[in-house]
Amino acid sequence: MTGVAARVPAATPWVFVLIWSTGFVVARYGMPHAGPMSFLSLRFLLSVAAFGLWIAIARVAWPRGAAQWGHLAVTGLLMQAGYLGGVWAAVKQGLGAGPVALIVGLQPVLTAVWISALGARSGSGQGVTSRQWLGLGLGLAGLLLVVWQKLHAGLLTPLNLSLAVLALLSITAGTLYQKRWVAPCDVRSASVVQLGAAFALTLPLALLEPHHFDLHPQFIGAMAWSVLVLTLGGSSLLYMLIQRGAATAVTSLMYLVPPCTALLAWLLFGEVFTAFGLVGLLLTAAGVALVIRPRA
């Protein structure tokens, strides 16, 4: 995979953003035909099978040591079960794909501020600067503007907002945990461990749902896209981008996910953002740009 990563086209980061954005749209597309935990548990199971076949063909090495398996399992519970579970459950409870993407899109901001705060405590001089605090404030103001219109439309409830925030906190904690504890390993075998842990958590929750799923064409299409494009394709692209040293670029491009998702939701579902929502998106983009801009 390393040799392949060195030949990644320049357009790959943009393709990755587009794929990541479709995840929120797929959640909206598949929700009428499945319970959120039922959909995700089946998605995790099929993804494990697909990655397992890929591993068998490519003869991929597995992570070494029980500790690494444990760390990967923790990241799977946070970044797969917690993150995706929160997103899908929030959409199931009536929150649109665009607002969910915007709330979860604050993850890189929280991550950057947390890392900076740790740097300040350790005396490394990498604390939160006044520019970053300004950016965090702008991002929060933008989020409130977007959420405010949903509140007046009756689409935002304490439940679906809490679920979206759960997804945000889960992916943030999972990212920080992985940076700290997970050693470099092949993304395919690591994904099997992560997805297996996520399946073990979501399956019991799925069994408690009154409606599991029905084999509607929309459900089948959403499942196929989730497994083949989002899980296998998205993970592989992310792996290749990091291998070529583009992790920072990927983080920056992640802030394009909310407007991209909003555009897709408008085209496919007729979700409309008011003038306040548009201003909120612009404020959020400006805020996160201030947070992630390299120091002088």
pLDDT tens per residue across span 108-153:
778 777 877 776 666 655 556 778 778 878 888 887 777 776 666 6
Residue predicted with more confidence, 106 or 195: 195
pLDDT higher than 60, residue 296: no
From residue 234, give the alpha-carbon distance in Å to each of 13, 59, 180, 196, 282.
11, 21, 22, 18, 26
Question: Higher model confidence: residue 97 or residue 228?
Answer: 228
Residue 120: its pLDDT value, please? 64
Full-model pTM: 0.83
Asked which of 44-53, 93-102, 157-166, 203-212 is least confident by mean pLDDT, the reply is 93-102
Q: What is the pLDDT of residue 128?
A: 64
pLDDT in tens, 239-281: 666 556 544 445 566 767 777 787 787 788 777 767 777 888 7
User: Span 46-66, mean pLDDT?
Assistant: 94
For the chain, give the longest Cα–Cα distance: 57
Contact call for residues 105 and 165 (beta carbons, < 8 A): no
Least-confidence region, from 15-29, 116-130, 200-214, 217-231: 116-130
pLDDT in the model for residue 246: 46
How many independent structural domains does the chain possess? Answer: 1
Task: State the Cα–Cα distance between residues 54 and 58, nearest whole angstrom.
Answer: 6
Q: Would the pLDDT of 210 be above 80?
A: yes
Per-residue pLDDT for 86 more than 60?
A: yes
Domain that holds residue 250: 2-292
pLDDT at 42: 97
pLDDT attached to residue 151: 61
Confidence check: pLDDT of 295 > 80: no
pLDDT at 8: 53
How do residues 152-171 score in pLDDT, each as one tens digit? 666 788 999 999 999 999 98
Q: Cβ distance 213 to 219 under 8 Å?
A: yes
State residue 5's pLDDT score. Answer: 41
Residue 15 has pLDDT above 90, yes or no: no
Provide the mean pLDDT of the chain: 82
What is the percent of the chain where pLDDT is above 70? 82
Identity (one letter) of the amino acid at 33?
H
Least confident of 141-145, 173-177, 190-194: 141-145
pLDDT beyond 90 at 58? yes
Q: Please check whether residue 168 is in contact with residue 84, taking contact to mean a CB–CB distance below 8 angstroms.
A: no
Residue by residue, DSSP assigns 253-296 as: HGGGHHHHHHHHHHHHH-----HHHHHHHHHHHHHHHHHHSPP-
